[in-house]
Structure 1
Amino acid sequence: MHIYNNILETIGNTPMVKLNKVTASLPCTVLAKVEFFNPGNSIKDRMAVKMVEVAEQNGWLKPGGTIIEGTSGNTGMGLALAAVIKGYKCIFTTTDKQSKEKMDILKALGAEVIVCPTNVEPEDPRSYYSVSKRLAKEVPNSWYVNQYDNLANRDAHYEQTGPEIWEQTSGKVTHLVVATGTGGTVTGTGKYLKEKNPAIKVWAIDSYGSLLKKYFETGELDMSEVYPYITEGIGEDFVPQNYDMSVIDHFEKVTDKDGAVMARRIAKEEGIFVGYSAGSALAGLMQLKAQLKPEDVVVVVFHDHGSRYVGKVYNDQWMMERGFLDVKTVKDVVNARAGQPLVTIKPDEKVSDAIAKMRKFDIEHIPVLQQDEVVGSVSENSLFLRLIDDAQIKDATIKTMMQPAFPLVSLDMPIEKLSAYINKENGAVLTKDDSGNFHIVTKYDIIQALGN
């Protein structure tokens, strides 16, 4: 039997997976180092446990102690796993831009999580850096991890991630692409690979709103480069000590939108449910396609799992609110009508009145309204079938002939999702605008919208 003594022993030896559809436009082979196979679902498990082990060896972390760290979530997860197995407590500070899923996971593992504002300077006493440092001084028998300047971070990747990539590619790797934050992964992994083959290119992917690219290119800490951004886990507003810029060949910036859209593409086209930074890493590689050759073997690190972003990147509403999702919605269909009024009918009107309105306005579906409330519907097809059976029903009232009301949907619903509501039995849906006015969307409207 092959049995692990605890969950920490399962860290590492993550799979390398060839990408096919999403990278079809690239001339080279692209391989993904899928790090969410680690037990904490991210690459941060590697360095978290390494830092804990070094702290134990040096006497910084003592039995029954408290681990304190500022984290975007993934490092906290690795530290929390180590704490569970080794018997420590955890207090983590994080920013208010991090996903709720990350915070909930940390709490599920017994950690205390303190949320701090994102848009403050690192030196601000409210920043998650400052709060974690303060707590480390106030909490007895505690150890402040400081993943940014703790060189055990990059050592973990020099000892583990680099050798794994070299072995899995049989030494054929030509490029390493990493969306980088603390600098541990890109520096440690890149250092090992370059020692094996100095010709290997190391490309670091940065975010707009981060100063790392400018610092790499000029050596200048330009705070004008720093502004709020949405991408999680990458970019910095300072330069952590884990960076060895001599290991890196190029920094490439990626927008919040491009990273998010690419993450969704990876999930849909490759079946690999990745996090935000993996989308940024691959988007950055795609921007550099002109520098690639057919014989190149590119390894892209997929840092974590998409389950931590279901409320953000994988949420249509969140994506649309930020202009990241280029989809047509019910609102687009309504706006395309240029304010055409909704044709309705009352329950006490006659079937012949409905037929007349259908002819006059060239429509098939009419909502039935009573005192501004939708109480039913009539459709050309249903009336036609009944008239064939009994021509006299044209004198019947609508309330005796009407069908259930059309489903009510939100204005921001993507039209692709309307197939769940519009079908053979039901030919339309209703929506309501901010002024309380009803609008109808039919099969014909959807065909028109998708065709444009």
Structure 2
Amino acid sequence: MWLNNILETIGQTPLIKLNKVTKDLPCTVLAKVEYFNPGNSIKDRMALKMLEVAEQEGKIKPGGTIIEGTSGNTGMGLALAACVKGYKCIFTTTDKQSKEKADILKAVGAEVIVCPTNVEPEDPRSYYSVSKRLATEVPNSWYVNQYDNLANRLAHYEQTGPEIWEQTEGKVTHLVVATGTGGTIVGTGKYLKEKNPNIKVWAIDSYGSLLKKYFETGELDQNEVYPYISEGFGEDFVPQNYDMQYIDKFEKVTDKDGAVMARRIAKEEGIFVGYSCGSCLQGMMQLKAELKPTDVVVCIFHDHGSRYVGKIYNDQWMMERGFLDVKTFKDLVSGRGSQKLITVTPTHTVLDAVNLMKKYDIENIPVFDGEANVGAISAQGLFDKILNNPDVKNDTIATVMEKPYPSVAFDMPVERLSSFITKENGAVLSKDESGSHHIVTRHDIIQSLSK
């Protein structure tokens, strides 16, 4: 049987047991993998619900324009609904969000306006303020306001909560959500607690957000607010979708820990998730001392990793922020002190190269003609040639040299360096910041990976 449109595929996402990342935990951990929704995130649920309620209440007319401030995922859900229902979309977002999110919104017909992150919500440049202003200027428009629109949490009360209850056969003991607008955690938590008041609901927050302190003290402390890199959760105000009676605990996760955990989930579980998913699981892991063998924990995995390929799944981006603890070409050569690169020229003899290898106990020598990397000499290659013709030792390097060693970036991770090392090629070269050449050999890589 066919479906009438893409919106009918929203919901009924799978609940998948985690096995490797959580192997040291005493309990069962299940991931509600929301990227199976057509817009690849949980926000499809509340986007459609908010639009349906707006239509019922006459807040948007046929051919109207949907206006919202969104980090990308809500916008995608709204854009899909707009495609089917015949509306236009204008979305404001922040410059900290991944470029992929804005590009995807444009791909489905939305207009996207990027606003600065590091301004107060009341600042006329903020993405909150710009979206509100547009809603007053654009005729026949509807300002969604997902933060204070209670149809947001209603969607999860009606859909996400019942799905989790049914999929766990009522055995769920903990719900863990990286929370932003509050709709997912409050709507889902409310439903589950009505089924079983003993279910614990844990909210995962980011450093730089004021939600945790507000939950614990009731104080809106702007001193808690500062820029952070994590996406899709945490807030610098308290949206009206929050009803703290349905939340038992808040836990904060660092930008680095959330990013690293997302990569682990993708690599170890084969579930390609977004930033907040890593933060959600990391927050739960930080609270593992409170879990016991009979517990069944459900973590919400909000969205898909494709939204973050330029960020947390990009080694360079991770290294620039100190998030990726990997050894690089630079690390390998730094451990040698001030040892100078040994080279030969095409006019040197084979015997010259052999003597240098003996003197410095090396097996790979680059061949330079001035500043140009023109070839290479390896101990194995020379051994084969001298074995076949002992007189070759008097020949020039130009007659026996092999292909030049590949040149790579000075900060290339060791794991990527290894792909350049082959049976025929035993080393790679790179230049440091001052322009000096360095070499890393097969032996260097083997030694580094064994430590």
**TM value normalised by structure 1:** 0.99
Matched residues in 1 for 2:397 and 2:18: separation? 58
Instruction: Give the whole-Å Cα distance in 1 for the aligned partners of 2:339 and 2:61.
Output: 72
Q: CA RMSD in A?
A: 0.7
Q: Is the 8 A contact 2:418 2:445 kept in 1?
A: no
Task: Tell me the secondary structure at the aligned position of residue 78 of structure 1.
Answer: helix
Matches within 5 A, 1:30-429: 30-429=29-428
1:326 Cα shift?
Answer: 1.0
Q: CA deviation at 1:233?
A: 0.3
Q: Deviations over 1:188-220 (max 9, x none)?
A: 000000011111100000000000000000000
CA distance in 2: counterparts of 1:55 and 1:336, whole angstroms: 64
Cα distance in 1 for partners of 2:357, 2:153 equals 71
Give the counterpart letter for 1:299 in structure 2: V
Pairwise CA distance, 1:451 = 2.6
* Aligned: 1:450 with 2:449: yes
- Distance across 1 between alignment mates of 2:24 and 2:96: 33
Looking at structure 2, the residues matched to 102 and 306 of structure 1 have their Cα atoms a distance apart, in angstroms, of: 11
What is the CA-CA distance between 1:448 and the residue it aligns to? Answer: 2.0
* Structure 2: distance between partners of 1:103 and 1:337: 45
Give CA deviations for 1:105-134 in whole Å, capped at 9, x if unaligned.
000000000001111110111110011011
Among all aligned residue pairs of Structure 1 and Structure 2, give the percentage whose two residues are the same amino acid. 77
CA distance in 2, matches of 1:369, 1:144: 65
Amino acid at match of 1:267: A
How far apart are the structure 2 equivalents of 1:404 and 1:446? Answer: 20
For the residues of structure 2 that align with 1:449 and 1:164, how far apart are their CA atoms?
Answer: 48
Tell me the distance in 1 between the aligned counterparts of 2:331 and 2:126. Answer: 41
Deviation per CA, 1:303-355: give whole Å up to 9, x if none: 00111111111111111111111111111001111121000011111111111
Partner of residue 433, structure 1: 432
What SS does the aligned partner of 2:267 have?
Answer: helix
Counterpart code for 1:24 = K
Deviation at 1:65, TM superposition (A): 0.5
1:290-310 deviations in whole A, cap 9, x for unaligned?
A: 000111111100000111111
Residue number in structure 1 paired with 2:20: 21
Alpha-carbon separation, structure 2, partners of 1:65 and 1:339: 68
Q: Report if the CA contact (8 A) 2:363-2:379 is conserved.
A: yes
Deviation at 1:268, TM superposition (A): 1.1
User: 1: distance between equivalents of 2:418 and 2:438?
Assistant: 18
CA distance in 2, matches of 1:125, 1:302: 33
The answer to which of 200-209 and 369-378 deviates more is 369-378
Are the aligned partners of 2:420 and 2:428 in contact in 1 as well (CA < 8 Å)? yes
Moved segments of 4+, more than 4 Å: none
Count of residue pairs the alignment pairs up: 451
Mind listing any 5+ residue stretches in structure 1 that lack a counterpart?
none
SS at match of 2:208: coil
Distance 1:355 1:341 in 2: 18
**CA shift at 1:419, angstroms?**
2.2
Show structure 2 runs of 5+ residues with no match.
none
The one-letter amino acid paired with 2:419 is A
